[in-house]
Amino acid sequence: MRKAARAFRVAGIVVGGIAIVLGATYLALPKGPRDPMTFADPWNTSRPQVTAKEYAAVTGTPWATDVAMKILDQGGNAFDAAAAALLALNVTHDEASSFPGIAPLMLYEAKTGKVLSYVGAGTAPAAATIERFKAKGYKTVPDLNIWAQLVPASPDVIVSLLRDYGTMSFRQIADPAIALGREGFPVHHIMLHNMDLSLVKRIGFAVLFPYNTKVYLGGQWWRPLYARDRITFPDLANSLDAMARAEQTAVANGATRTQGLQAVRDYFYKGPLADAIVKLEKSKGGLITAEDLAHYTGGWETPVQGSVGEYTIYTNGTWSQGSVGPLALQILDGIDLKSMGQNSPLYVHTVAQAIELAMADREGYMADPAFVKVPITEIMSKDYAAQRRLKMTGRAFGPLPAAGVVSGLAQAPTIFGSEDGPLHFAELLKDVRFGKDTSHIAIVDKWGNAVSITPSDFPKSPMVPGTGLTLGNRMTQFRLDPASPNRLEPGKRPRVTPHALIVFKNGKFSMSIGTPGDDMQPQAFVQVFLNMSVFGMSLQEAIDAPRFRSMSVPASFAPHQSAPGTLLLEKKLYDADASRLEALGYTVTSLPDWDNTCGAIGAVIKTANGLIAGSDPREETWAEGK
């Protein structure tokens, strides 16, 4: 016994000594900023509404907006500028809209009057089956896991946009992003917010994802990010440069512009970058193969559309949640919202119920139309909206109501909740904030062309070593329930939250608009649209006004939990309405004013006198015009 006790004491002394050495080493390690930069961060500050005569751009960061404007200054069109801004966002908002993630796109071509959607979400690998996930014991697609990765989409989006509607080369539109990646830019508030990991989380991040830690923290897990500190992404810059060199080599050897762009695409999906992705997948037991990459394609499609009054709203297909916004507005059509007063308790309740009814239809029906027959024509009809309007009540729904019954169906489809049940609100809010941001681009050029893009993806799975490529966690938006229309199937797209929007007024182009914010995206759009169309606010006033967010809908990200009957209210709205909304049966919680849990709208509007652009103080969103 004495020997054992002596051994324990010795072990304790050794462990204590090691702990002291490690603690002292940690304390001695450098932890301050590396290279602070001067930067007037626009986050949470008032900004003017921008007016322009020729062209205007709004993106998720000032640097991406500056890139878009420079391309327009050089004579590029909106499509060139959007592609350049997308790559600049992939650098300057990399933690929320990483290359080569998803990039749902809407465009308006002034010359032809066409409005088109581009399928900008990747597909599940051929090896991704419900049975494979269930065999591993998963109830939902796991986050922080290589199995959460979709086949990448945005390289296909960029090449198709430039090939079919742009005028510039990939080299021309990529060079600004390459320079930003190499020279760096200051860490902005939203990047800091998204990557503000505790010491314990940074250690876990380093263990799970050592290359990700190298990219974001310089490999120094003990050193957090600091606001305004210079951050660079040289590996990503090198990957974009290599894609551009593939184009230049092809053209130098006699290729046409189109063939040069194809060389860019091939370098990613069939060449060295594809090889690097496949090497990672094989080493980590991932699902993506060379065949998945080589066979990937997006494509142009007819948009989903809805209408309310003099407005027609166009959005991406049912592989996104884009239909929720126009459907909610159609449910509200004919209700005298103006008499209720903007953001009065009755108004908030009424709009929240329309959103929740539309979200119920999202859950019951919306999925990749290549795999699921979605009755979208019937759902977007005025008769269907009238049927849904009758379901509105004087008190909070609580749990999400049933989806509507489409003609020919005996009953409404099931709403698929979480496998784990409702989530405690504090947990849910934390879950909403981390790793679920996105970004947005809205551009109108001097010829009247318009683009709206909503790029996204996060470094929550292993990045591809040496490339700066983030494959994200978007597979977590699938369900592993075989009865769900949004069930996982090989080659299928999950119903992604990001979507883009184009709005017409009296049959003519009126607005390019969009927002980040996962399940908040259609909610933010509906509120800003109503602020303008019903209450006559200017674009910037409509964006700045307080917002609310319904948490009754099952979250699109796994584990798909909800907080039935809960509304989040920005503080001004909470102070005005909380008690009366509680009397209507809601659980209400206050958010700070201008909180990005409630989205970050960016929009450009065409008027008789030119263009108006507005950006959201809830994020770094920035508008410029000329």
pLDDT, tens digit, for every residue of 157-193?
A: 999 999 999 999 999 999 999 999 999 999 999 999 9
Domain assignment of residue 444, yes or no: no
Query: Are residues 343 and 423 both part of a single domain?
Result: yes
Main-chain phi, psi angles of 4, to 5 degrees: -65, -45
- Output the pLDDT for position 2: 61
- Output the pLDDT for position 436: 59
- Output the pLDDT for position 82: 98
114 bridge partner residues: 109
Tokens matching residue 478: 């699938």
Residue count of the chain: 626
Query: Are residues 259 and 325 both part of a single domain?
Result: no
Contact indicator for 102, 499 with CB cutoff of 8 Å: no
Query: Are residues 316 and 362 both part of a single domain?
Result: yes
**Coil/strand/helix, residue 607:** strand
Domain assignment of residue 158, yes or no: yes
- Output the pLDDT for position 484: 96
Domain assignment of residue 554, yes or no: yes
């914010």: which residue's tokens?
A: 517
Query: Are residues 501 and 616 both part of a single domain?
Result: yes
Query: Are residues 204 and 277 both part of a single domain?
Result: yes
Note the pLDDT tens digit of each residue in 88-130: 999 999 999 999 999 999 999 999 999 999 999 999 999 999 9
- Output the pLDDT for position 24: 55
Query: Are residues 310 and 256 both part of a single domain?
Result: no
Domain assignment of residue 307, yes or no: yes
- Output the pLDDT for position 460: 94
For 458: left if phi > 0, alpha if psi spans -120 to 50, otherwise beta; the answer is beta
**173-199 as b/e: b if 16+ CB within 10 A:** bbbbbbebbeebbbbbbbbbbbbebee
Q: What is the DSSP string of 140-153?
A: SPPSSSGGGPPPP-
Q: Are strands 566-570 and 587-591 parallel, antiparallel or unpaired?
A: parallel
Note the pLDDT tens digit of each residue in 583-623: 999 999 999 999 999 999 999 999 999 999 999 999 999 99
Number of domains in the chain: 3
Domain assignment of residue 411, yes or no: yes
301 bridge partner residues: 117
**Coil/strand/helix, residue 18:** helix
Neighbours of 540 (CB within 10 A): 21
* CATH number, domain with residue 537: 3.60.20.40
Tokens matching residue 90: 């992939």
Query: Are residues 214 and 252 both part of a single domain?
Result: yes
- In terms of residue numbers, what domain contains 138? 73-100+121-298+459-473
Contact indicator for 247, 171 with CB cutoff of 8 Å: yes
Q: What is the DSSP string of 165-178?
A: H--S-HHHHHHHHH
Query: Are residues 317 and 233 both part of a single domain?
Result: no
In terms of C-beta distances under 8 Å and separation of at least 24 residues, what long-range contacts does 277-285 make, across chains too?
Answer: 277/152, 277/464, 277/469, 277/471, 280/146, 280/462, 280/464, 280/465, 281/146, 284/146, 284/462, 285/146
Query: Are residues 344 and 278 both part of a single domain?
Result: no
Query: Are residues 525 and 612 both part of a single domain?
Result: yes
> Mean pLDDT across the chain, nearest whole number?
93
Query: Are residues 419 and 282 both part of a single domain?
Result: no
- Output the pLDDT for position 414: 76
Domain assignment of residue 168, yes or no: yes
Query: Are residues 422 and 463 both part of a single domain?
Result: no
Domain assignment of residue 407, yes or no: yes
Contact indicator for 571, 592 with CB cutoff of 8 Å: yes
Residue stretches of the chain with pLDDT short of 50: 14-15, 18-19, 21-22, 420-435
- Output the pLDDT for position 432: 36
Note the pLDDT tens digit of each residue in 541-590: 999 999 999 999 999 999 999 999 999 999 999 999 999 999 999 999 99
Domain assignment of residue 58, yes or no: no
> Taking the CA of residue 61 as centre, how many other CA atoms within 13 Å lie in the half-sphere pointing to its CB?
29
The C-alpha torsion from 342 through 346 and 349 to 351, rounded to 10°, is -40
